[in-house]
Structure formats: structure tokens, C-alpha cells
Amino acid sequence: MVDSGPYQFEAQCSNRPVFGDAKIRGMGVSGVALFSNDLACDIRDHYRELIEDGVDDTEATRQTIANRESLDDEDDGISAILALAVTQSKIGRLDPAIRDRALAAIEQGGDLSIWAIDNPKLLAKRRQVLAKAREQLTGPQPAPARLKRPSRPGCGLAAGDVLALDLPGGPALLRVVRVHVHRKGENPCLEELQFSGSELPSLEILEQLEPRVKDPTAMMQPDARLFALPDAKNAGWKEAGFKKVATIHGRAGDAESALPSFGIRWPNLVARYRRQATVAPQSQK
């Protein structure tokens, strides 16, 4: 039930694609661009989030590089220091020590030796990336930009809420196991309840319904627990066609349950159920 669109659940897990033509050693790399690998993106995002939260420049730099062995890594260190330096430069906060370290890395050839071995066809393009980074760091620097914290829209759901989606053969029922709150919003963790009736059951019956998938850790099963995501216009469960029909008691282990590693947008979830409802009667003929 993985969403067909790009899905990155904040910094908790990185699902950025890795394409064979650009894969470089152990790095999660999807191209020659500076921010086409997971490490560079993680450093950029971490630093920007600190600035968004009001942390001063010096402390944001210290926290970003603290305990990051990747900055001294033979393979990944160059991408890491360049990512931090260019990120600082673009928002007018280039630290002189970080700048000098990044420029020294570029002057020494950057990571071109790695690309020459692992993907020589892209070596010239990577050289252009390093040249552009050098230009960014040595050119006129912009004034410090004020970064606002992203708005954090709520999902309108709470643990124990039961959602229903009307289908020809009877409603599909989903229980909100928990709601994960993060800096960019809220994502409900859902599990489908085992139900085959034609009409909504009573509250008493809802309390007793078992999950369709008994093992919530079986993430790749079609009906396993998953995160539900708003669509590109931030529309949620109401707009997709779900109804909140009840709130039932929590179950043992809900609060401590593992967070799903994948999700699906509400409209795509509805489309999936409707496809199933169409296929099921045909398979019975």
C-alpha cells in the first residue's frame, strides 16, 4: 500500500530514490547535484530547521556538525561539508570556518576521485557542480534570511477514532491506532478492522472488532498499518470520502507501537478500496 507519489516522512526515515546510473559507493545518491544524496539533504534540513526554530547561527552550526562522523569520512565528508556550507551561504549565514573547510575540499579535487572510479560518465557534470559550489561560496553573500517555521496543520483525528468508507458491499472500517505529531503536521497511523457487514456495526461491536492483519509489524502486507497522508492540496480524510463514525477505547500497546515506514495519500487509499470492491464481486462469479 505504498503511495505512488514521493513519500518522505520527515527526517525519521529517508526513502529518497537511488538510481543505478548514479549510485556512488555507500551514499544514497540519485544524481550529480549537490543535494542528490541523502546525507547532504539531511544536513541541509537539520541546519535549516534549527534556524527556523530560532537557534542562533553559531549554535546551529555546532549542533549540525556535533557527533557527525560523516564530516570526517573519506567518502562522504566532502558532500557533507559542501552541503552545510552551501546551505549556510544561500540563507546568508556562511560561517567562515565552514567556508574555508569547504573551499579547501574543492581545491583538493573534492570527491571527483570517487566519481572517476564509480561513475566516470558523470565526472564532468560533478566537476561542474563543484565549480558552482565554489562560485556560491566565494561570491557576494546575501543578507541573512529569516526562515519561518512551517505551519503544522492538524489531521482532525485522535487515537481510537474509527473511520468508515462507504462501499457497495458494505463499509470499510479503519481504526486510528495513534497520531504521530511532527514539525510539519500530523499523520494518523491506521489499521483496517475485520468486518464484512453491509451496515455500520454498533459501538459495542466496534470495540470487539479485530484488526484485519494480526501482526502490525508485517508492514508490506496489503492491509497492514500505514500512515495516511493529505494530498498535494492538503486535503484529508473528509475530502476523500471517509466519515468518522465512532471513538473506541485504545488497545494494549497502541501508544508504544512502531510507526509505519510507509504511507498512502487519502484519495489513493479510497481508490484502492474501490478497486477492491469492484474486483471482489467479479472474482466470485
> In 119-198, where does DSSP find H-type helix?
123-138
State pTM to two decimals: 0.59
Residue 3's pLDDT band, with cuts at 50, 70 and 90, is very low
| Per-residue model confidence (pLDDT) at position 120 | 92
Q: Is the pLDDT of residue 21 over 60?
A: no
Residue 115 Cα distances to 18, 107, 110, 125, 220, angstroms? 15, 16, 10, 10, 35
Residue 4's pLDDT band, with cuts at 50, 70 and 90, is very low
Q: Which residue has the higher pLDDT, 47 or 183?
A: 47
Per the prediction, the chain carries an average pLDDT of: 84
Q: Determine what percent of the chain is predicted with pLDDT higher than 90.
A: 60
Give yes or no for a contact between 261 and 180, defined as CB atoms under 8 angstroms apart: no
Give yes or no for a contact between 133 and 86, defined as CB atoms under 8 angstroms apart: yes
Residue 22's pLDDT band, with cuts at 50, 70 and 90, is very low
Beta-carbon neighbour count of residue 53 at 10 Å?
11
Q: Is 285 helix (H, G, I), strand (E, B) or coil?
A: coil
Residue 262's pLDDT band, with cuts at 50, 70 and 90, is confident
DSSP state at residue 199: S
Q: Is the pLDDT of residue 223 over 80?
A: no
| Per-residue model confidence (pLDDT) at position 38 | 87
For 185, list phi and psi in degrees, rounded to 5: 155, -155
| Per-residue model confidence (pLDDT) at position 44 | 95
| Per-residue model confidence (pLDDT) at position 5 | 35
What's the mean pLDDT in 235-258? Answer: 92
Cα 59 to chain centroid distance, Å, stands at 26
Q: Which residue has the higher pLDDT, 224 or 157?
A: 157
User: For 77-110, what is each residue's pLDDT tens digit?
Assistant: 899 999 999 999 999 999 999 999 999 999 999 9
Residue 14's pLDDT band, with cuts at 50, 70 and 90, is very low
